[in-house]
Amino acid sequence: MVITFRCRSSLDPTNDECSTLWELLTMSLLEMLKEGLVRESYINSFNLPFYFPHGDELRRIIEEDRSFSLDDMDTFEVSWDPHDIECNNRGKKTTKSIRVVTEPLFSSHFGNSINDMLFEKKLADHLATKKTRHLCVVISLIKKMNDHVETGMLVCNLSDTYVDFVIFFC
State the pLDDT at residue 44: 92
State the pLDDT at residue 33: 92
**DSSP string for residues in the chain:** -EEEEE-BSSS-TTSGGGTHHHHHHHHHHHHHHHTTSS-HHHHHT--------BHHHHHHHHHHH-SEEEEEEEEEEEESSTT----TTHHHHHHHHHHHHHHHHHHHHH-GGGHIIIIIIIIHHHHTT---EEEEEEEEEEEPP-TT-SSEEEEEE-TTTS-EEEEEE-
Query: pTM of the full predicted structure?
Result: 0.62
> Residues 79-131: pLDDT tens digits?
766 565 555 566 777 777 788 888 898 999 998 888 888 887 767 777 776 66
Better-scored residue on pLDDT, 76 or 96: 76
Q: What integer is the mean pLDDT of 133-143?
A: 87
**Domain 2-169 CATH (choose: 1.10.1200, 1.10.3470, 3.30.720, 2.30.30):** 1.10.1200
Per-residue confidence at 28, pLDDT binned at 50, 70, 90?
confident
Q: Of 9-18, 72-81, 125-134, 148-157, which one has max mean pLDDT?
A: 72-81
Mean pLDDT over all residues of the chain?
A: 77
**Would you kindly state where each structural domain of the chain is located, as residue ranges?**
2-169
